[in-house]
Structure 1
């Protein structure tokens, strides 16, 4: 979504008052469908987790620490993407995040300075899986583990095999079983 927004934003002649996608605006403001409470960035939320697809072929997990103004990339297959390509792939997030924060976060309601720039760091010590097809589920697992304060380097091949099976069972129960009833 941010990639599409970056193209639209750059093409826009009038940057102030840009017509942002409502999903982005609502997430920043905490107005998320099916969530019982409104949790706004900075006021209630310090860390944002996002899965991100690079080039329609590889998933990574992003840990955005709002107050510190930094973004960590948790990549389950670092050798798949050379370091020099990472800034280009991250451009939509790096370029738009400060603009989105400035547009939707009221500094008067926040007890810290809002960052004008977000730094980027690709964390090297995360589990690496050289099998193809696991990067999406692993990116989601990295988010879960990081949120629980468990570093993603604690995964093993055996645990990843169990994770794959668990996801397969979940998908089967969610989508296939209802079709047979």
Structure 2
């Protein structure tokens, strides 16, 4: 929430047209994916109530400092894998692709990462299809109900963190660096202590201009 407030108060700092989903968004994709697949196979996806968990993200919610998805080109979504490791998923809506930033590069295989991102890649097109009007979908030239493409951003484009437990701070910093067009190769273990202290102060005191 602190970061979302910061974006709203300092819009000139951020060059991209984007929205940020909290960590609960990726959880919602994970939790609903099994039902989504079963309903899709049974032809029941048009039943009411399937999308309530996502509407608050898609449409403008000023009190939550959310940017409506019909106006953005990028959606930043932190994702926790197996209650162990944080990664950053970015839906590139103009390319119709999910980019994944993993600070600990060797931790999961390509097949595992493709599986972990499947709920998001399969459900996000359907969520947009059911919540936006056809003219709004025209903003996304590659829109399709098929699963979105997947790309894992490689090292050295994403710095390695070794065996550090700083993956959550890495993900928050990736968002800040990417949304301000900074080089995320600067987000390294060498500055992690400083970043931890900065985020601790921001969150504890709800400071948006630090």
TM-score tier (shorter): 0.7 to 0.9
Whichever of the two has the greater Rg, that structure is 1
Instruction: Determine which of 1, 4, 19 is the counterpart of 2:49.
Output: 19
Tell me which residue corresponds to 2:194. 162
What SS does structure 1 have at the residue aligned with 2:125?
A: helix
- Out of 48, 53, 58, which is 1:28 matched to? 58
Partner residue of 2:158? 126
After TM superposition, the structure 1 stretch with the greater mean CA deviation from structure 2, 107-116 or 70-79, is 107-116
Matches within 5 A, 1:59-74: 59-74=86-101
Tell me, what secondary structure is at the counterpart of 1:130?
A: coil
The 1-side partners of 2:108 and 2:48 are apart by: 32
- The answer to whether the 8 A contact 2:98-2:149 is kept is yes
Unaligned runs of 5+ in 2: 1-27
d(CA) in 1 for partners of 2:64, 2:80: 25
Residues 79-110 of structure 1: CA deviation (Å, up to 9, x unaligned): 11122211111111111111111111212234
TM-score, scaled to structure 2: 0.73
> Please, which runs of 5 or more residues in structure 1 have no aligned partner?
175-181
1:149 aligns with 2:176: no
How far apart are the structure 2 equivalents of 1:18 and 1:114? 27
Task: Select between 118-127 and 4-13 the one with higher mean Cα deviation.
Answer: 4-13
Query: Aligned partners of 1:145, 1:53: CA distance in 2, in Å?
Result: 20
Pairs aligned (count):
171
Deviation at 1:75, TM superposition (A): 0.7
Instruction: Write the distance in 1 (CA, Å) between the matches of 2:49 and 2:74.
Output: 25
Cα shift at 1:57: 0.7
